[in-house]
Amino acid sequence: MIINSIDEIDQIINNVLPYCNKNTAILLDGDLGAGKTTFTKYLLKKLGVKQIVNSPTFVIMNQYQCKDLTINHVDAYRLNKNEEVEMYLEQFFDALNIIEWSNNLDINYEQHFKIIKISIKIIKEDIREFKVEVV
């Protein structure tokens, strides 16, 4: 699905919302600046998160609480497959996990979680192509 401006992002979010449950991993893929964190901000707002949602690039993981749902937002850009992931994986259980650069972590996501793969491709300055796959 192609969105022509950020005002149209709700079309994507509304398709993803029914899957935003515990033990789910949303794996975000896209180049730098594609909109992975922007998508996450809008999704968390729609889920009812009141806190400010910032990029976890430097802290690796931000955690939010919304009603009875714990939400982990991970940016694995600076990590590599040899990093100790157990400290993150333990926190992923019983939570909704939104993971940017998920390929940088050596985790078999399908073994542990329901998976939603979202790829974001930059078409032009404000135009993005979203592909959503529920695994």
pLDDT mean across residues, the chain: 92
pLDDT band of residue 82 (cuts 50, 70, 90) is low
The number of domains in the chain is 1
Is the confidence at residue 127, as pLDDT, over 80? yes
What is the C-alpha to C-alpha distance for residues 34 and 22, in angstroms, rounded to an integer? 26
Per-residue pLDDT reduced to its tens digit, 83-117:
666 677 788 999 999 999 988 888 889 999 999 99
- Number of Cβ within 10 Å of residue 8's Cβ equals 15
pTM: 0.92
The SS3 of residue 75 is: strand
Q: Six-digit token pair at 77?
A: 């850009």
Residue 26 sits in which domain range? 2-134
- What does the pLDDT look like over 17-65, one tens digit per residue? 999 999 999 999 999 999 999 999 999 999 999 999 999 888 889 999 9
CATH code of 30's domain: 3.40.50.300
